[in-house]
Amino acid sequence: MLKKLLGLAPKLERDGSYSPSKIALKLSTSSKTDFEDIQYEQYQGKKSKILVVFTEQKDMIMKNGKKFSTGNHPVEALVPMLHLRNAGFKFEIATSSGKPAVLEMWAFPNEDKQVQSIYNEYKPHLEQPMRLRDFVENSMSDVGSYAAVFIPGGHGAMLGLPEDEHLGKILNWAHDNDLYTLSICHGPSAFLATTLNNQKFLYTGYEMAVFPDSVDKNTPMIGYLPGHMPWGLSERLKKLGAKLANKKADATVCLDRKLITGASPSASNALGKLAANTLLKELKP
C-alpha cells in the first residue's frame, strides 16, 4: 500500500500482468526522444533491405511468478529505423510465427512526431509480419538484396527468440555473408539462438554493448519490474565469450566487425547514426 501511495508499485493491468510504476515511467521514459533528423546521402544500391526481427510475446514471468507486460521497446526499435530509413534503407518485419509484433506501448513517446510517423508507416507490417521460417525458406537465397538484420531490445526480446532455430540460421546467414547485425539493450538475447543444437556461440570474442544485469536487479525497487528477472542476459553472454563494452544502462554503442550494438534506450539515437553511417560507407559503390 505504501509503495502504491508513493507511486512505486507496478501497475496491474486488466490481463493480470504488470507494467512499470508511475515513478519508473517518469524516470525511464519520455514523451519525446533525442532523435536527430540527419540528412543522409541516400543509399541507391541493391542491398537496400534490412530484416527487423520483433518479438511476438508480451508476458515475462518473473521469479516471483508475476507477469511483466513487455515486448519490444518502441524507442529502441523505431529511432534506429528512422535513421536507417532516412539513409535509404527499407524494412522487412518478422516474428517467430508470424503473429503480430508486440511493443511496450507504455514506453511510446507520444509527442514525438517522427517516431509516430514511422510507427504509422510500418504498423500494417507490425500487425502482419512474416514468419522467420518463411524468411529462411524463401528469402535467404536473395542475399544480394539485404544489408543487415536488426533485433530491437525490450525485455520481450528475451522471450522466444533465444530458442528460435530459424533465427539462429538467419544470424549465421548474415554472419557468413558479411551482412551487418544490429541490436540494442536486451536484443542481444537473440544471439543465444546461435548456440542451439550444441553449436558454438557465433559471437565469442566480440565486443558488444548490452543492458547490464546489475541494473535489472535494481529496477524492482522503483517498480519498473514486478519482480526479479528469471535469468540474466549480460552475464550469460559474458560466460559465452562476449566482451561487454558497458557497465551502465547508458548511450554506449559498439562496432566490432559486422556487429553493431547499443546499451539501452538511451543509445537508440547513437545506434541509428552509427548503423546508418556504417552501412552507407560499407556499401558505397
CATH number at 249 reads 3.40.50.880
Tell me if 122 is assigned to some domain: yes
CA distances 178 to 144, 242, 270, Å, are 11, 19, 22
Q: Read off the C-alpha cell for 172.
A: 549465421
The answer to whether the CB of 72 falls within 8 A of the CB of 101 is yes
Q: For residue 190, what are the domain limits?
A: 17-27+44-282
User: What is the chain's pLDDT, residue by residue, as a tens digit (285 residues)?
Assistant: 556 655 689 999 999 999 999 999 999 999 999 999 999 999 999 999 999 999 999 999 999 999 999 999 999 999 999 999 999 999 999 999 999 999 999 999 999 999 999 999 999 999 999 999 999 999 999 999 999 999 999 999 999 999 999 999 999 999 999 999 999 999 999 999 999 999 999 999 999 999 999 999 999 999 999 999 999 999 999 999 999 999 999 999 999 999 999 999 999 999 999 999 999 999 987
Predicted confidence at residue 3, as pLDDT, reads 61
Predicted confidence at residue 284, as pLDDT, reads 84
Tell me if 2 is assigned to some domain: no
Tell me if 4 is assigned to some domain: no
What does the alpha-carbon distance between residue 142 and residue 209 come to, in Å, rounded to a whole number? 30
The answer to whether the CB of 232 falls within 8 A of the CB of 216 is yes
* CB atoms closer than 10 angstroms to residue 1: 6
- Lookup result for grid cell 544485469: 213
Predicted confidence at residue 6, as pLDDT, reads 57
> How many separate domains does the chain show?
1
Amino acid at residue number 85: R
Tell me if 104 is assigned to some domain: yes
- Ramachandran quadrant class, 189 (left: phi over 0; alpha: psi -120 to 50; beta: rest): alpha
Closest by CA to 167, choosing from 8, 51, 285, is 51
Of 81, 151, 184, 185, the active-site residue reads 185
Tell me if 123 is assigned to some domain: yes
Predicted confidence at residue 8, as pLDDT, reads 85
Tell me if 86 is assigned to some domain: yes
What does the alpha-carbon distance between residue 50 and residue 39 come to, in Å, rounded to a whole number? 19
185 is catalytic: yes
What does the alpha-carbon distance between residue 7 and residue 22 come to, in Å, rounded to a whole number? 5
* CB atoms closer than 10 angstroms to residue 23: 17
Predicted confidence at residue 5, as pLDDT, reads 53
What's the burial of 79, exposed, middle or buried (CB within 10 Å: 0-12/13-18/19+)?
buried
Tell me if 37 is assigned to some domain: no
What does the alpha-carbon distance between residue 125 and residue 77 come to, in Å, rounded to a whole number? 14
What does the alpha-carbon distance between residue 271 and residue 145 come to, in Å, rounded to a whole number? 22
